[in-house]
Amino acid sequence: MDRIRLIGGNALNGEIAISGAKNAALPLMIASLLTDEPLVLQNVPRLADVKQLERILENHGVDIAVHGRRRGEDEMVGQRMTFHAADIVDTTAPYELVSKMRASFWVIGPLLARCHEARVSLPGGCAIGTRPVDLFLFGLKALGAEIDIDEGYVVARAPSGGLIGATIIFPKVSVGATHTILMAATLAKGTTIIENAACEPEITNVAECLVAMGARISGIGTRTLTIEGVERLHGATVDVIPDRIETGTFAMATAMTGGNVLLKGARPEHLQAALDILARTGVDLTVESGGLRVQRSDQPILPVDVETEPFPGFPTDLQAQFMALMTMSTGTSHIRETIFENRYMHVAELVRFGADISVDGQLATIRGKAQLKGAQVMATDLRASVSLVIAGLAAKGETIVNRIYHLDRGFEGLEDKLSRCGAEIERVAG
């Protein structure tokens, strides 16, 4: 199994091209199931999760083509891909595919809308409980779907004639459920209103893609989405937005190492809450025509308290990275995780660097230290993985990060991007 080896202590300096957003690319790929015409996506990141979703879509009958770079394009430009679901040959998404990636469950919406039936494995074999799919099923039932759970599969059927528009009020914000119901409602008969919808930039990217495909959607970017159902959607060409989580990750890595990096293509408006917090730590942030410049020279890292919230608040997907930064602050900081109940698994690994962190329920207390020491650590999930890389960049001596397949799911060319900016980092084949 591959590992990452780091020698800490080098400041990051240079430019990093921000890749397309994984959390937008995946639902955009799934949206191809809604039409029998080609959907062309540009700036698709090269990630393990993208490859896995390709396998799932091909199982449903989607033809997928990957196009080469155009003349003059930078090698870090994302892929241009065409998804053509002329015929849906199978409405079952089997366990062996869905279990590897939670977002693959979202195919249930387009399959049900277009084919009026779907049989999709519960993601990861989970019960309806922790990180549940109950909001997905709640929304689909409101659209008239009949839902059964059969041997670990959700079996969904639309009434004769297809789904029917309805008003759906989510009891809590859910990105996945919003994506799924939004896609399903585009082909439903009548009007669907989604209240308390997620309004992340990735939702907006997907909604604008659906509009380009002929959907009628208003309220994009707000908590209330109104969808007027249409009989069919057509093809379109759509760009995947830059990854705001990757932007925040590299910004925090730059701050941690005391460097100066231009994050090319970054859209600061997509993570303003995180940037506001980062600025309070003493980091200089400057919006330039090419992206966002992040700089910290001799000034110390100041401690700042933060609480994760749905967009436009501080994202839970940057919580682990920010915790890594706070381990070298000049005082005590606190992080309150309000989105997921089990998202502090990286704490024990950060402590291996010598970090002083304690956890009480949702609240983590971080007492900053002047220096971390390199260590052998193990990645536990996608965002935790990169927090360990950030810590290793600033730690004294050698760090080995094990189980880095998590990183390959969500960060394109991580070692290459960091090494170009002066990091001593390499992948070691296992």
Catalytic residues: 126
DSSP letters spanning 43-65: EE---HHHHHHHHHHHHHT-EEE
Is the link from the previous residue into 312 a cis peptide, with omega within 30 of 0? Answer: yes
Going by C-beta distance under 8 Å and a sequence separation of 6 or more, which residues neighbour residue 228?
190, 191, 216, 217
375: CB partners within 8 A, 6+ apart: 352, 353, 354, 395, 399, 400
Contact 391, 350 (CB under 8 A): yes
Residue in the block written with tokens 């100066």: 260
Q: Mapping DSSP to helix (H, G, I), strand (E, B) and coil, where does residue 136 land?
A: helix
Q: Which DSSP string corresponds to 316-332?
A: GGGHHHHHHHHTTSSSE
- Could you tell me the maximum CA-CA distance found in the chain, to the nearest angstrom? 67
Cβ-based burial of 429 (10 A; exposed 0-12, middle 13-18, buried ≥19) = exposed
Written as one string, the DSSP assignment of 54-113 is HHHHHHHT-EEEEEPPPTT--TTSPEEEEEE-SS----EE-HHHHTT-GGGGGGHHHHHH
**Of the candidates 350, 337, 426, the residue with the CA atom closest to the CA atom of residue 388:** 350
With H, G, I as helix, E, B as strand and everything else as coil, classify residue 425.
Answer: strand
Question: Helix, strand or coil for residue 314?
Answer: strand
